[in-house]
Amino acid sequence: MPNGNLWDALHGGKILLNWPARHKIALGIAQGLEYLHHDLVTPIIHRDIKSTNILLDVNYQPKVADFGIAKVLQARGSKDSTTTVIAGTYGYLAPEYAYSSKATTKCDVYSFGVVLMELITGKKPVEAEYGENKNIINWISSKVETKEGAMDVLDKRVSESFKEEMIKVLRIAIRCTCRIPTLRPTMNKAVQFLIEI
């Protein structure tokens, strides 16, 4: 793809994505996952949503890639999970998947929430500054207890004029990464939330 992947765009240092581009990328990823989860006769769980698997075309339109470990669920309504060997990438794996081996669409929602956090903060899912056995989710939750703390997690390279929008998307990311899977939104809802911003 002409603009590589989202990881390189956020962490490679060669380009700087402004907030409108980041929001467009977030919405595009959400719409791709919405299609996989809700628009197919048999839903597909990607199981490895991460910034390196989001390719960017010439217009920075995202394409969800690498379906090597994706799983097809049984016909809609009969079963909403599949037991499988744990696969995916540390920092993006939903906690319940890591200990139960049951993959659900809510696992993809969790991983999507981590990618949203990357888009908002410009930080990687796992960094030494978060502390031992901590990730971006722990780091953000320790900061957002105050409005000033929430502002501290936003990528400083993005224009101040987009801070309120970024905070709204941060709230969506926090909902997507809730430890309780049933409290996470569906991808239909996540798309709706992102469109309303």
Nearest to 115 by CA among 4, 197, 33, 1: 33
Residues in CB range of 143: below 8 A, 6 or more apart: 149, 150, 152, 153
DSSP 8-state secondary structure symbol assigned to residue 28: H
Domain extent at residue 60? 6-192
| Residues found in the chain | 197
The pLDDT of residue 82:
57
The pLDDT of residue 87:
63
Q: What is the pLDDT of residues 108-136, one digit of tens each?
A: 999 999 999 999 999 999 999 888 888 99
- Divide the 197 residues of the chain into consecutive groups of 10 and give the mean pLDDT of each group: 90 89 98 96 93 96 89 62 63 85 91 98 93 90 80 92 95 97 97 96
The pLDDT of residue 121:
96
The pLDDT of residue 68:
78
The answer to the question of residue 17 being in a domain is yes
The pLDDT of residue 72:
85
Choose the catalytic residue: 8, 39, 48, 57: 48
Strand locations in 50-129 (E): 54-56, 62-64, 71-72, 81-83, 102-104
Q: What is the dihedral of CA 44, 45, 50, 53, to 10 degrees?
A: -30
The answer to the question of residue 1 being in a domain is no
The answer to the question of residue 101 being in a domain is yes
Please answer whether residues 21 and 34 qualify as being in contact, where contact means their C-beta atoms are separated by less than 8 angstroms.
no
3-state SS of 141-175 is HHHCCCHHHHHHHCCCCCCHHHHHHHHHHHHHHHH
Q: What is the CATH number of the domain that holds 48?
A: 1.10.510.10
The answer to the question of residue 14 being in a domain is yes
The answer to the question of residue 197 being in a domain is no
* Domain count for the chain: 1
Catalytic-residue membership of 48:
yes
